Structure 1
Amino acid sequence: MWAIFCSLGPMSQQCSSHNSLTSEELSRGLAVEKFDLVKKWGINTYKCTKQLISERFGRGSRTVDLELETQIELLRDTKRKYEGVLHLARALTSHFYSLVQTQRALGDAFSDLSQKSPELQDEFGYNAETQKLLCKNGETLLGAINFFVSSINTLINKTMEDTLMTVKQYETARLEFDAYRADLEELSLGPRDAATLCRMETAQQNFQSHRGKYEKLRGDVTIKLRFLQENKF
């Protein structure tokens, strides 16, 4: 039995060394993967920043969809106006709620006076009933205002905001598409040696990838804008 344990000793050490090596390789692989991701992010950021600066100084060309951009600006302008309406509606709700509460308190006060002032019981009673009726109608109106506030809040902060989030993604994809298009065009004007041809092939793949992303998001934005238009926002 002792001989068996002795014979297993070196094998156990070998397994331990193998596991340790595997862990080291795994850690190295993760480090390389993270480095590649950071490298790609850095290259993409550099290209997009370069493209953005070129556009702002009028040196770089920009892909423009006039109809779509007009609709996007209209949505942003409409959202700002609706936010103003929502602000006013919330203020109205607050003031009107205070009014209804005041009418309720006034009705209770008249009701109490009608019981304690027999000589003016009819007058106070009439005023009490009037205030209670106004309060009841006010609560109905307040409920309608609250429904309006809730609906417009959903429209602004969910429906419109969801569309504008897609618009932001589309605008980022447009910038990336133009950045990689400009990169490909720049390489196309250079020498056609082996190294350049290899870079051009990579640039072409990146360009096609970002064009597909751009076109998909443009379609998504178009669909969401059409949905808002059809629902008469």
Structure 2
Amino acid sequence: MDTANTTSRISNLTFQDVQQAAAVKAETIKTWSVKTYKCTKQILSEKLGRGTKTVDLELEAKIEILRDTKRKYENLLALARALATHFSNIIQTQKVLGEAFAELSAKSQELQEEFRYNSETQHVLSKNGENLLAAVNFFISGVTTLCSKTMEDSLITVKRYEASIHRLEFDAYRSELEALNLAPRTEANIMKQAVAQGAFNSHKANYDKLRSDVDVKLQFLDENRVKVMQKQLLLFHNAISAYFAGNQQELESTLKQFNVKGSTPAIASQSWLEKE
């Protein structure tokens, strides 16, 4: 049944319809062939040093800055992760040490108070160490998102820009137009020049839009990077300063300010670095 309907539709096509469809197809193939030829010619000219390649020096500088910034931030991340690993080991050691002091306090009457003080100190240190570790891990998470998602998304856009055929097409039609502008002013060349100018304008618009999109993307990324890092660096500084200054309340306040979930607050009547 379907075969019969198809045959019927084909038979109803007039010779003019078939001729028109063939003409459209032929024109499409011709346009593709001409464009492919011009682009191939441009590639060969660039490789042989005869043709010029359009380079946006300002945009290229921004792209290189992005790549360099990403490398430096990734190095910062590696160091922060190493710090978190080492500090986590210290906290675990403090917990075990505190337990050892507590056990000796129960079994050594003559040094009971001294062992108890040290046990409590290690307990408080480990608790506040967990708060600092939570802040460091929050810093690591924020910078990781910035590098692996935000920056990487922008670099994907950059790679598409670098791999785009729009630049090649733009240069191919620019080279053709420049050659026609230098050719004798015959009627045929003037007509060719008009056609080439129209094609050049079209491809220039495509290329300019692509460059503009990348430039805007990089600008938004830079604004977001500064905003994110201002928050993360303030958190990191305040948490580190409070911890090593022995200011338990300030450390807990810092976690609360940045909505970082830490450990249960340690109970201490004095600063946890001022135990006797």
Do Structure 1 and Structure 2 share a fold, with TM-score over 0.5? yes
Question: Residues 206, 105 of structure 1: CA spacing in aligned structure 2 closer, same or farther, 3 A cutoff?
Answer: farther
How far apart are 1:131 and its partner, in Å? 0.9
Q: Which amino acid aligns with 2:132?
A: L
Question: Residues 176, 58 of structure 1: CA spacing in aligned structure 2 closer, same or farther, 3 A cutoff?
Answer: same
> Partner residue of 1:179?
172
> Partner residue of 1:18?
5
Give deviations 1:117-161, integer Å, cap 9, x for gaps. 333222221111111111122111111111111111111112211
Question: Residues 225, 206 of structure 1: CA spacing in aligned structure 2 closer, same or farther, 3 A cutoff?
Answer: same
Question: Residues 93, 45 of structure 1: CA spacing in aligned structure 2 closer, same or farther, 3 A cutoff?
Answer: farther
- Is the aligned partner of 1:155 residue 2:146? yes
Q: Which amino acid aligns with 2:57?
A: L
Cα contact 1:166–1:217 (8 A) shared by 2? no
How far apart are 1:209 and its partner, in Å? 4.3
> Partner residue of 2:212?
219
- Is the aligned partner of 1:130 residue 2:121? yes
CA distance in 2, matches of 1:209, 1:165: 25
Give deviations 1:54-83, integer Å, cap 9, x for gaps. 435432112222222212211111111111
The number of equivalent residue pairs is 209
Could you tell me which of 46, 50, 67 is aligned with 1:59?
A: 50
Cα contact 1:167–1:221 (8 A) shared by 2? yes
SS at match of 2:51: coil
Question: Residues 217, 16 of structure 1: CA spacing in aligned structure 2 closer, same or farther, 3 A cutoff?
Answer: closer
Question: Residues 46, 150 of structure 1: CA spacing in aligned structure 2 closer, same or farther, 3 A cutoff?
Answer: farther
Between Structure 1 and Structure 2, the one with more helix by share is 1
Could you tell me which of 114, 121, 130 is aligned with 2:105?
A: 114
CA distance in 1, matches of 2:95, 2:222: 43
Q: Which amino acid aligns with 1:214?
A: Y
Cα contact 1:110–1:127 (8 A) shared by 2? yes
What is the TM-score with the length of structure 1 in the denominator? 0.69
SS at match of 1:140: helix
Q: Which amino acid aligns with 2:69?
A: T
CA distance in 2, matches of 1:70, 1:133: 50
Structure with higher RCO (Cα < 8 A, 6+ apart): 2
Question: Residues 80, 45 of structure 1: CA spacing in aligned structure 2 closer, same or farther, 3 A cutoff?
Answer: farther
Q: Which sits farther off after the overlay, 212-221 or 76-85? A: 212-221
Question: Unpaired runs of 5+ in structure 1?
Answer: 1-11, 24-28
CA distance in 1, matches of 2:36, 2:142: 40
Q: Which amino acid aligns with 1:18?
A: N
Correspondence list, 1:1-40, <5 A? 16-19=3-6
> Partner residue of 2:155?
164
- Is the aligned partner of 1:79 residue 2:93? no
Cα contact 1:180–1:207 (8 A) shared by 2? yes
Give deviations 1:208-230, integer Å, cap 9, x for gaps. 44323221121112212222333
Q: Which amino acid aligns with 2:110?
A: E
Cα contact 1:100–1:139 (8 A) shared by 2? yes
Question: Unpaired runs of 5+ in structure 2?
Answer: 11-20, 230-276
What is the TM-score with the length of structure 2 in the denominator? 0.60
Q: Percent identity?
A: 56
RMSD, matched Cα: 3.8
SS at match of 1:60: coil
CA distance in 1, matches of 2:69, 2:180: 43
